Chains A and B, each alone.
Chain A
Amino acid sequence: MTTDDPLEQLMAGMAAGDLACLWAFVDEYGPIVRTVVRRIVERTGRIDIARNPDELEALMLDACDVIYGRASGWKPGGAKPWNWAFAAINARVGLAIGHRTVELHDVGSDEDLECEAGPYGGAVVADLAGDDLSVLISRHDRVRLLDEAIRSVGTEEQQDIYWEYRLQQGFGDPSPADMVGRRFGRKPATIRQICKRHGLKVWQLIQSDDRFIELLDHGWFRAGTDRSVA
């Protein structure tokens, strides 16, 4: 072994087809993978499975098999394996339990809106139309986590611009960069650049820091591109 990092050692062993390394990987990192799987299951609306420890354990083992099968493609120092293989894990879970069955909540519903996310962050952001961001942060764990991630990178101005841009987008503004640009005294093109770069930094943070594991499937960042900033 050429590395002291236990995760890298296990991934190298799995890449070589060593099943003992798979056993060790699951034993060590299975609980983290289980969190990823639980989040995926919750998003399908199958709360019955998400709350069933046996079913969740079986799905976690499947997810670890996915990582094992792809271990040779993982690069040390990059995203954690469960983040790196998220799309494949998501597909495997979808295959096992079926696809999403729950519709997006209506805007203004009294139900807890944090459980769904559409292309722009979903109902939580839509809820911003009738609420203040700080209230949402105090009300929704997911928004609080999102705020923490956004506030963990870049300058304060970049963070404010990013949030403002996303809020405008959530309101349905077709040209959010124009409005945010006027507010911050910047050109729209500059606003878009700032948001694109800031979104990328936030995405990299989400991939590398397990505190933000629940944001891996967030519509703003998923697939590694800040696709809605254009």
Chain B
Amino acid sequence: MTSVDRTGLTEHLARRLRAEGASHPVAGAVALAARGSRQLTVSEFSTEFGVAVDAVRAAEAGQTAFAELPAEVGAVAESTGVDLLSLADLEQAWRAPSSAVPKPQALPDAAGRPNGD
């Protein structure tokens, strides 16, 4: 069976974090990929790679910018075959002003007129 595209999988998690309103969804997904690839708990990952638990949690929640991710996190993610350059491009594209998460459109009222603002 063909293995899974790990960059695509990480992007999938990034979309999820983005939909949840994370400030740095791609960086968050990379952090999740790093720990997921080793199948470690947060504390195990923290101990093994010498990254503070709070830093791991913040990164995974998408609160840490890509450039500020602990180096160990990026290195672990990259070692799994995740294409960090491509993901960094995605983060950059999402941060461009024109690529904000689309605002849900208001449903029309019973008469079919546009509703809301």
Q: Which residues of A contact B (CB under 8 A)?
A: 1, 6, 9-10, 19-24, 26-27, 30-32, 34-35, 53, 57, 60-61
A24 adjacent to B39 (CB under 8 Å):
yes
A119 to chain B, nearest CB (A): 31
* Partner among B1, B4, B12, B60 whose Cβ is within 8 Å of the Cβ of A20: B60
Instruction: State whether A24 touches B36 (Cβ < 8 A).
Output: yes
Within 8 A of A (CB), among B37-57: 37, 39, 41
Once the chains bind, are B16 and A27 in contact (CB under 8 Å)? no
Q: In the complex, which range does the number of interface residues on chain B fall in?
A: 20 to 34
- Give the complex CA separation of A172 and B21 in angstroms: 57
The reply on B84 being an interface residue by CB < 8 A is no
Tell me whether A61 and B9 are in contact in the complex, defined as CB-CB below 8 angstroms, given that A31-B3, A32-B1 are known contacts.
yes
Docked-complex contact B32 and A19, CB < 8 angstroms: yes
Q: Do A9 and B39 have beta carbons less than 8 Å apart?
A: yes
CA distance A223 to B95 in the complex (A): 46
Instruction: Tell yes or no: B2 within 8 A of A by CB.
Output: yes
Q: Chain A's nearest CB lies how many Å from the CB of B114?
A: 26
Q: Which residues of B contact A57 (CB under 8 A)?
A: 4-5, 8
25 A–B contact pairs at CB < 8 A?
A: A6-B39, A19-B13, A19-B16, A19-B36, A20-B60, A22-B13, A23-B9, A23-B10, A23-B13, A23-B33, A23-B36, A23-B37, A26-B4, A26-B12, A27-B37, A30-B3, A30-B4, A30-B9, A31-B1, A31-B3, A31-B4, A32-B1, A34-B1, A57-B5, A61-B8
Is A20 a contact partner of B9 (Cβ separation < 8 A)?
no
Find chain A residues with CB under 8 A from B39 CB.
Answer: 6, 9-10, 21, 24
Which A residues lie within 8 Å of B6 (CB)? Answer: 27
Are A21 and B36 also in contact (CB < 8 A) when A26-B9, A61-B9 are?
yes
CB contact under 8 A between A23 and B1, given known A6-B39, A61-B9, A61-B12: no
Residues of B within 8 A of A34 (CB): 1-2
Find the A residue at minimum CB distance from B31: A20
Asked if B35 CB lies within 8 Å of chain A CBs, one says yes
CB distance from A200 to the nearest CB of B (A): 29
Chain B residues with CB below 8 A from A31, complex form: 1-4
